[in-house]
Structure 1
C-alpha cells in the first residue's frame, strides 16, 4: 500500500515580504494610536492590550513588557490550536508593537480631550490592528481564546470577545473612573468598526443568486450593461420539481441597485438573494464602473 505524499506548499518570497511589511506598518500605526491618543488620556483598548495598559499604569513598568508576557500563554494556545504560521505572525506583531510603543511613549499626546482621543485614537489603532489581522496575525490573546471557544461552544467569536471585554472595561472604571471607562467603550467600538473596514474594504463585494426563467436575457443584460460574468447553475423547485436556472454573479456595492433594476426589468417574478463577500481569490473579478 502506497503512502500518501505530503503536499508542501511553497510560497514565493514576495508573499512573506509583503506579509511582514504589512505587520510592521500595522504595529507602527497601532502604537501611534495607543501612545499618542488613548493611553495619555487614560482610555484603554479591550483584551490583553487593555489589561497591559492598566498593569503598566499601576506598576510604572513599560507597556511592552506586559504585552509580551501576558500574551505568551495565548500564543502557545494559538500555536497548538490554530497553527504555526499564525503563532509566528502574532509573536512578531506583538514584539513590534512593544518596540514601537516604547519609541512613541516619549512623544507628546495629540489631544487632551478624552472623547477626541477615543474617536481618533480608535480609528488609528483599529487601522493598525486591522492590517495585522489581514496579514494573518493578531495582537490580542483574547481573540485566540474566542476562536478556540467558538469551535467548542455555542458562543460566537464576537460574543466571547465582548464578554471578556466587559470585565476589562469594568476594571478600567475602577482604576480610572467610570467616565474614562465609558470613553474606553467608545474607543473599543470605533476600533472594532475600523478593523471591519480594513478587513472587508471600503467597497464591499456582494454575491448574488438569481432564480429565474429568463436566464438568457438576464445573463446578456448583466454582461452588456454591468460588464459582469455570470455562472449558470441548473436546479429544480423543491415542491413542484420544475426545472429552474440559477444565475450566480459577484458585483460591487455600487452595482447592487443597478443589478436589481436589470433583473426585475427582465423578469418581475425572479427570486434574488444578495450576500456580502468578505474576500475574492482568483477569477477575473475587477472593480468596474456602472454603465
Structure 2
C-alpha cells in the first residue's frame, strides 16, 4: 500500500510539473506573438499563422481561430497518435488562447520589423520548445505530419515545411511580401530555438569504439574525461575473434578529446559518434578535461 501511495504521489507530481511547464511555454509563446510578431504583422507557420491572418481579415479574435481550426486536427491526433499527446496538446492550445487574450492590451515592444522577428522568434521558440519537450503541440499541421510520417515516405519535417511554404507565402498576399520575408526570418529563428530547448545547449553524443586496446582506452576515458564506460561483447565477422566494444556518452566539447585519447592508444581504432537528444539516469557527471 505504501509503495502504491508513493507511486501515485509521484505520478500526480509529474502531472502537476508538466502542467506548469506547458503553462509557462504557452506564456512565453503568447509574449512572443502578442508583443513582437502580431502587432508587426509577422506570422509563425502552421495553424498559428493561419489564425493570425484570419484574425486580421475578420472581427473574430486570434484565440478563437486558434481553438476552432485545431479541433479537427485534435480529433485526428486522438484517433491516430494517442490520448496523452492529445490531452497535452488541448491543454497547450487552451492555455495559449488564454494568454494571448491576456496580452492583447499590452503595447508592442518594438515597431522595428527586424528586431520583432528576431526577439519575437527567440521568445516564441523557447515557449514552443518547452511545450514540445513535454509531449504537447500547438499546431495541427504537426499532427498531420506525424500521421503522414507513419503512412508515407515523407518525414515530419518535410510535411511541416510543405505546409508552411504555402502559409508563409499567403502572408505575402495578406500583409505584403516584406512581411512575408520577415515571417520567414521569425520562423527560422523559432525552429532553431525549438532545437536548442529540445536538444539542450550542451549537446551529448553516444560513442562506440572498436579497438584491440579497449581496456586501456576505457581506463583513459574514465579517468581523463570522468565518463562511465560500458563494454559490449562483439565478434569480428571476418576473423571470428571476440571484441570488446566500448560505449560511452560525452558532451560536444569532449568529442575531440575522446578522439585524441583513443587514437593515442590505438591509431587503428574504429570510432562512431551519434547525437543523443536526451539522457536519463546513469553516471553522467562532468570532470575537468586533462
- The answer to whether the superposition gives a TM-score over 0.5 is yes
| TM-score normalised per structure 2 | 0.95
Q: Which residue of 2 aligns with 1:280?
A: 279
Q: Which deviates more, 191-200 or 220-229?
A: 220-229
For residues 285 and 65 of structure 2, the distance between their equivalents in structure 1, rounded to whole angstroms, comes to 44
Equivalent residues in 2 for 1:68-87 (5 A)? 68-87=67-86
1:96-141 CA-to-partner distances (Å, cap 9, x unmatched) read 1001101111111111111111111000000000001111110000
For residues 8 and 162 of structure 2, the distance between their equivalents in structure 1, rounded to whole angstroms, comes to 38
> CA 1:9–1:204 in structure 2 vs 1: closer, same or farther (change >3 Å)?
farther
1:154-193 CA-to-partner distances (Å, cap 9, x unmatched) read 0000000000001101111111111111111111110000
Q: Which residue of 1 aligns with 2:246?
A: 247
> CA 1:75–1:288 in structure 2 vs 1: closer, same or farther (change >3 Å)?
farther
Q: What is the CA-CA distance between 1:286 and the residue it aligns to?
A: 2.8
> CA 1:136–1:289 in structure 2 vs 1: closer, same or farther (change >3 Å)?
farther
Q: What is the CA-CA distance between 1:262 and the residue it aligns to?
A: 0.6
Q: What is the CA-CA distance between 1:235 and the residue it aligns to?
A: 1.6
Any gaps of 5 or more consecutive residues in structure 2? 1-6
Q: Which residue of 2 aligns with 1:111?
A: 110
1:17 and 2:9 aligned: no
For residues 12 and 94 of structure 1, the distance between their equivalents in structure 2, rounded to whole angstroms, comes to 23
1:268 and 2:267 aligned: yes
Q: Which residue of 2 aligns with 1:62?
A: 61
Q: Which residue of 1 aligns with 2:226?
A: 227
Q: What is the CA-CA distance between 1:11 and the residue it aligns to?
A: 5.2
For residues 286 and 280 of structure 1, the distance between their equivalents in structure 2, rounded to whole angstroms, comes to 12
Q: Which residue of 1 aligns with 2:150?
A: 151
1:236 and 2:235 aligned: yes
Size of the alignment, in residue pairs?
284
For residues 171 and 228 of structure 1, the distance between their equivalents in structure 2, rounded to whole angstroms, comes to 51
Q: What is the CA-CA distance between 1:9 and the residue it aligns to?
A: 9.2
Equivalent residues in 2 for 1:194-205 (5 A)? 194-205=193-204
Q: Which residue of 1 aligns with 2:136?
A: 137
Q: Which residue of 2 aligns with 1:44?
A: 43
Secondary structure of the residue aligned to 1:272 is: strand
| TM-score normalised per structure 1 | 0.94
Q: Which deviates more, 180-189 or 9-18?
A: 9-18
The answer to whether the 8 A contact 2:212-2:269 is kept is: yes
